[in-house]
Amino acid sequence: MSFLKMIFKELKNTIFDRDVILLISLGSIFLTLLFGGVYINSYIEDIPVAILDEDNSSLSRMIVQQFGDDDRFDLTYHINTREELKDLIDSRRVHMGVYIPPNFSKDVMTLESSDVLILVDGTNMVVGNNAYAQAVSIIQTIAAGTQIKLIEAKGIVPSLSYNVAMPFQFTDRMLYDPKMTYMNYLIVGFIGIFLQQVMFSGVGISVVKGGEYFAGKNTIKKLVPKVIALAILALSSMCIAIHIAQRVFNVPIRGSIGIGLLFAFVFILAITCPAIILASIVKDKLKFAQISYMLSLPTFAASGYLWTIDQLPAPMVAVYKCLWPLIYFVRPFDEVMVKGLRFEMIKGNIYGLLLYTLIWMPIAIFILKKRYKSTECTN
């Protein structure tokens, strides 16, 4: 039987395997729609806020109004005591509190130091960072405007007062994702994780079901068509998921889908190795599924996607690169799709995946043959 016919045979077998076809064909699509729906709002908005204004001056009321007018905040409570403010934050009825002290306006006008206290519930990093950044922006804008008015009150003409108050400025240009949205930051990386999970599970389930067949003669000749058949389905599903991210959730996809597919296919070859090893060791579909899904979070956390590789401990990175291939793939894959990286910029990662496969595939086949050969001998 020709190699091409073997691939078509495995494709046919996979299509009629309900345990695998639903996972491989629909897993990435369903999860993209699910996670895209979770992050469909570009920003965290309507954050509940409480304000304690003990000054009640025109300046303090201006600050209160700015918070009330901002779309990022929902000015839920105007309170009278510090104890109320603390209780509201502790009970999670608000995520942020603003405290304006007595004599605040007087101190500002007499050029004495005075502070507006921003209290942020830091237990939720996403809400806390958004609330803090926007609150600081509001306070700094009002502070700059107040300083300009104070300078003008000293007789400096308006055309110069701004330059005195703001002796220098900076300009910025945010590349690739100007709005800095969670959707654009996460969804392509999630699609890479979905590809890992569906291929890892698909290969593992296939090995559990056909271990004796694969462990016989010509193991490579039997495994390669199965992996290619699964890869065709998984990559097709991945392409649909990327199209959904771009068309439905407006994620900017600038990169070459050809380079992305090549990169993803090499990653598939690499992730096949630990899938074969784990499936051969446990030889049970339920146990394999439990362990494989348990691995998804730690492998993603250590992959350098959420927390950059250069900030991870060097020994941890070295060990992870030896044991799991995701670190070579998920962040560069995101940058290929979003930033449009050329092949030359990711070829080192591709070589790393190929080296990983060359080292671990013989080990995986040895364990496969050893485990299922011992079963045959026992029987």
**HEC string for 123-164:** CCHHHHHHHHHHHHHHHHHHHHHHHHHHHHHCCCCHHHHHHH
Domains of the chain, CATH where assigned: 3-39+181-378 (no CATH), 47-165 (3.40.1710.10)
pLDDT in tens, the chain (379 residues): 576 777 777 777 777 777 787 888 888 999 999 988 888 877 788 899 999 999 988 888 998 999 989 888 999 888 888 889 889 988 889 999 999 989 888 887 776 777 888 889 888 878 888 888 888 888 888 887 777 676 666 666 565 655 555 554 556 666 777 667 878 888 999 999 999 999 999 999 999 999 898 888 888 888 988 999 999 999 999 999 999 999 999 999 999 999 999 999 999 999 999 999 999 999 998 999 899 989 988 999 899 898 888 888 999 999 999 999 999 999 999 999 999 999 999 999 999 999 999 999 999 999 999 998 755 444 4
pLDDT at res. 241: 96
Q: Please state the three-class secondary structure of 31-51 as a single string.
A: HHHHHHHHCCCCCCCCEEEEE
Q: Given the DSSP bridges, would you call strands 73-79 and 96-100 parallel, antiparallel or unpaired?
A: unpaired
Q: Are 264 and 238 a contacting pair, CB within 8 Å?
A: yes
Q: Which two tokens stand for residue 178?
A: 């100007």
Bridge pairing between strands 73-79 and 117-120: unpaired
**Distance (Å, rounded) from C-alpha 325 to C-alpha 132?**
37
Q: Rounded distance, CA 270 to CA 291, Å?
A: 18
| Site of tokens 């950044």 | 133
Tokens of 51: 């304000």
pLDDT at 361: 96
Cα-based torsion angle of the residue sequence 378, 280, 11, 350 in order, rounded to the nearest 10 degrees: -150
Structure-block tokens of residue 50: 């409480």
Please name the residues in contact with 165: beta carbons below 8 A apart, sequence gap of 6 or more. 144, 147, 148, 151
Query: Contact, 20 vs 210, CB < 8 A?
Result: no
CA 72 to chain centre: 22
Determine the pLDDT at residue 331: 94
- pLDDT for position 158: 60
Neighbour count for residue 68 (Cβ, 10 Å): 13
| pLDDT at site 125 | 79
Full DSSP string of 244-285? HHHHTS-----S-HHHHHHHHHHHHHHHHHHHHHHHHHH--H
* Alpha-carbon separation of residue 161 from 138, 157, 231, 375 (angstroms): 20, 6, 65, 86
Provide the whole-model pTM.
0.82
